[in-house]
Chains A and B, each alone.
Chain A
Amino acid sequence: MPLWLFAFLASLALISALGVILQRNPIHSLLALIMTLLVIGVLFIGEGAATVGFLQIIVYAGAIMVLFLFVIWLLNLQSQNLDPGRVALKFFAGIGSAGLAAILFALLIHSATTVKPIPVTAEYGSIDTLAETLFSDYLIAFEVTSILLLAAVVGSIALARRIPGSGLKAASAAEGRPEGDSKLVSGATR
């Protein structure tokens, strides 16, 4: 990838990343986030890792961001003036993020000076090499991650499911309180 293209895409990614945190409307922030993820995917593709780039676009920009959209819709988030917060908290948050930025910068400088670039092979970034690495060298980590994701799915279904007969959700039954809408019904009948 030529340098000017990289610079253009990288600045596009940075600008849209800034757009995520600087806009008040949550949907606009989400669009900026989609843009960021998309451009990062394009950067991957431009650097020869086409498979990773396309997977980035499919999984993050295409699937996970749709879920974000649904969450914003369901929680009915509006653009609103947030609580300005406390000065002391802001102070510590500023120190924390400055420290993080310093560490990142130091690491970048360190890697730029000490790490030697490795020449890539012809199959670099192809789905064959990716699959080989994933299913031989990192097989256990890969399988453990998928089991973790499965456990998360089962857990969320177990929390949200209704217990037959009681009309309660499992989560509210465990806390021993009736659910919100059943309270509304009893109020109306009284």
Chain B
Amino acid sequence: MVATVQCLLMFLLALNLSLFNLYFERKGSALIQDRVGANRANVFGFGKRLGLPNLGIMNTTIADPLKLFTKEDFVPEGADAMLHGLAPFLALFPVMVAFVAIPFGDTVTIGGTVYNLQAASLNAGVLYILATLGLGVYGVALAGWSSNNRWALLGGIRATAQMISYELAMGLAIISVVMAFGTLDLQEMCRRQGELWFGWIPRWGIFLQPLAFVIFLVAGIAESKRVPFDLPEAESELILGYFTEYSGGKQVVFMLTDLMEIVLIAMLVTTFFFGGWQIPFLMHDGFHFPGGHFLALPSLLVSILGVVAFLVKVIFLCLLQNVVRWTLPRFRYDQLMRLGWKVLTPLGLINIVITACAVVAVGRPG
């Protein structure tokens, strides 16, 4: 029962954060590119007359999906109708289920019962994440193949090649993090990031594994097929790539997959490298500042602060990915492959060797 509620909570959180991403994609990109952006948004046109502020958020988060859902659901001639209909959901499903393994807070005690703020406390949470990430390829690949369109097929092949190439780099980065913390349990990994170095540096993954952080973030952005890695849907070459032949509701599903992938990458980076729900110096009973100062807090407030910290970090990383998207130009395809196979993968391997030597030489932290 509790797990069901937590699953639902996590799912709604991911959906809401992807709506936030959608909004940022419209208005934030305009901010970065010095445009006005979506500016015809009002509830039935009344807002302006009554002197209300321009409700840009209404435009993007409600009008956009509504518009797409009312469009014709088109299946091209000669397409494999079953797979064409199935592909968007094959893409969305693995991303959606991955969220349950991510801890969004420490344990919270309400009325004598201890709740673990993680929908599914898996011993092998890291493996679960890798498994779901690996299954995301099929939706994209089959969308490209089943459309009976050469642009779509090219986009599908590019997407598949890109995703399996960067999955390798991503896996190597995760392995070095797992070696550093010595656990596959994501909640346990967050707990171990709560300790301090020299009494004042929090032992977060980004300080322990800076190289792995860079590799993971780059591979993560590539995995979600965003600019500068949006070769599979490069408009100037492939129209829209693997979802050229999609319209209406199925198009929404693909858009939602992309937006949710950003949230997933942000949550994973938070969990692996930014201590998850940890706030520096905050222990179970309150803040222990380095100078010996102590600020006592009730345990419920500490738990709530942890959830808030998790959300703040996730939103920051979502913003970071969006800013990267609207700042950098697209790579060439050979540059993309070279970066994946000749830079990130060897760097990941080197990082694993260094981490292994360090773990043997000085032992695991904590």
Binding site for B on A (CB under 8 A): 25, 27-28, 31, 34, 38, 41, 50-51, 54-55, 57-58, 61-63, 65-66, 69-70, 73, 126-127
How many chain B residues have a CB neighbour from A under 8 Å?
22
Select the residue from A28, A50, A54 with max chain B CB neighbours within 10 A.
Answer: A54
CA A50 to CA B164, docked complex, whole Å: 23
Could you show 29 A-B contacts with beta carbons less than 8 Å apart? A25-B80, A27-B142, A27-B145, A31-B138, A31-B142, A50-B122, A50-B123, A51-B127, A54-B127, A54-B130, A57-B134, A57-B135, A58-B130, A58-B134, A61-B131, A62-B130, A62-B133, A62-B134, A62-B135, A63-B134, A66-B137, A66-B138, A66-B141, A66-B164, A69-B141, A70-B160, A73-B157, A126-B123, A127-B123
Closest to B135 in A: A62
Could you tell me the distance in whole angstroms from the C-beta of A38 to the nearest C-beta in chain B?
8
Give A128 to B157 CA distance when docked, in angstroms.
38
Give the Cβ gap from B106 to chain A, nearest Cβ, in Å.
23
A57 to B98, CA, bound (A): 14
Q: Which residue of B lies closest to A34 (CB)?
A: B138
New A-B contacts (6) at CB < 8 Å, excluding given A50-B122, A61-B131, A62-B135 = A31-B138, A54-B124, A57-B134, A58-B127, A62-B133, A69-B138
Q: Collect the chain B residues with CB atoms within 8 Å of residue A70's CB.
A: 160
Residues of B within 8 A of A65 (CB): 138
Main secondary structure of the interface of B (DSSP, over half): helix
In the bound complex, how far is the Cα of B146 from the Cα of A27, in angstroms?
Answer: 10
Other-chain residue from A25, A38, A55, A73 in contact with B127 (beta carbon distance below 8 A) = A55
Contact with A along B114-140 (1 / 0, CB 8 A): 000000001110011011011101100
A130 to B141, CA, bound (A): 33
> Once bound together, how far apart are the Cα atoms of A25 and B79, in whole Å?
13
Are B134 and A61 touching (Cβ within 8 A)?
A: yes
Chain A CB within 8 A of B339 CB: no
